[in-house]
């Protein structure tokens, strides 16, 4: 059992893009994050696994300061995540987040969904934002849907738009919290393929997922959480073939 931060394959040099240092959080009596230490190197893909309720979503939301923490520190690209204010908005723009529910703006076109952030948060000119957005929509394979409203797209297409929208802010790290869990089975693969594409382009990623195929194929490191703790972490091949903790063995044993 190891709770020490480990260095991934990509960590050859430089500071981690994400660093959590003894992060703790409670919800009332529930100690939902317990002394979480985690470093994610530039270009590294960390897949977070663990049973429901283990704190995976809380961890993601803490990294984006959608949740406050009780103590400990979180650094994005070496900068400490501040409590609030403009600095927080800037640092948050460095963290792209894709949720289980797509959270697209229902009354805006696909193109506008992607341009809104760059225009509003980064002050980008519309023409430039349109160009950037079209490139990203092309990259995720939905450029031909640009004038539609989100509800006119399939779940898989909407999730790919959500990925493009996050990328439009040029994040330093992308967080995915069960991005395929709400999708019909036939749409899961297209979203996973998009994510694999990102890993191949060197994007730094933290991915919470139940898609073990993705974890095996795309992860540099698996982080296994249970009851608010990082119970073990290892390269995927090692984790899946030789889990160390009883909790991980139990978790893997229940997978079909
Ligand atoms: P996971 O994503 O691994 O399923 P979560 O981070 O969503 O786990 O939740 C971890 C624990 O914290 C669960 O027991 C959950 O019920 C609890 N929890 C999550 N959000 C809140 C909240 N806003 N208030 C109180 N308890 C919460
Ligand atoms: Mg969750």
Q: Is the pTM of this model over 0.80?
A: yes
The CA 1 to ligand 1 mean position distance, Å, reads: 24
Determine the atom of ligand 1 nearest the C-alpha atom of 178: 2
Q: Is 145 exposed, middle or buried (0-12, 13-18, 19+ CB in 10 A)?
A: buried
**Complex ipTM, two decimals?**
0.98
CB 167 within 8 A of CB 201: no
pLDDT of residue 1 exceeding 70, the answer is no
Q: What is the pLDDT of residues 146-185, one digit of tens each?
A: 999 999 999 999 999 999 999 999 999 999 999 999 999 9
Q: What is the pLDDT of residues 92-139, one digit of tens each?
A: 889 999 999 878 999 999 999 999 999 998 899 999 999 999 999 999
User: What is the overall mean pLDDT for the chain?
Assistant: 92
Q: Nearest 5°: CA angle at 13, between 1 and 235?
A: 30
pLDDT of residue 22 exceeding 90, the answer is yes
| Ligand 1, residues at Cβ distance < 6 Å | 27, 30, 32, 50, 52-58
Question: Which residue's CA is the nearest one to ligand 1's atom 13?
Answer: 53
């Amino acid at each position: 059992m190891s709770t020490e931060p480990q260095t991934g394959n990509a960590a050859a040099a430089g500071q981690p893009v994400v660093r959590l240092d003894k992060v703790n959080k409670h919800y009332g009596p529930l100690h939902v994050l317990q002394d979480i230490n985690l470093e994610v190197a530039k270009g590294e893909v960390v897949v977070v696994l663990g049973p429901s309720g283990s704190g995976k979503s809380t961890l993601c939301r803490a990294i984006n300061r959608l949740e406050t923490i009780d103590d400990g520190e979180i650094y994005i690209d070496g900068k400490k995540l501040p409590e609030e204010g403009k600095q927080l908005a800037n640092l948050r723009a460095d963290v792209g987040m894709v949720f289980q529910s797509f959270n697209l703006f229902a009354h805006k076109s696909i193109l506008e969904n992607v341009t809104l952030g760059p225009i509003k948060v980064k002050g980008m000119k519309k023409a430039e934002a349109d160009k950037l957005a079209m490139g990203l929509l092309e990259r995720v394979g939905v450029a031909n849907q640009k004038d539609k409203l989100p509800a006119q797209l399939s779940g898989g297409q909407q999730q790919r738009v959500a990925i493009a929208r996050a990328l439009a802010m040029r994040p330093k790290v992308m967080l995915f919290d069960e991005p395929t869990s709400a999708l019909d089975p036939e749409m899961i693969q297209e979203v996973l393929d998009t994510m694999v594409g990102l890993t191949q382009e060197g994007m730094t990623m933290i991915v919470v997922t139940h898609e073990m195929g993705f974890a095996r194929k795309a992860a540099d490191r698996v982080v296994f959480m249970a009851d608010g703790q990082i119970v073990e972490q290892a390269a995927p091949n090692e984790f899946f073939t030789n889990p160390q903790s009883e909790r991980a063995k139990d978790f893997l044993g229940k997978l079909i």
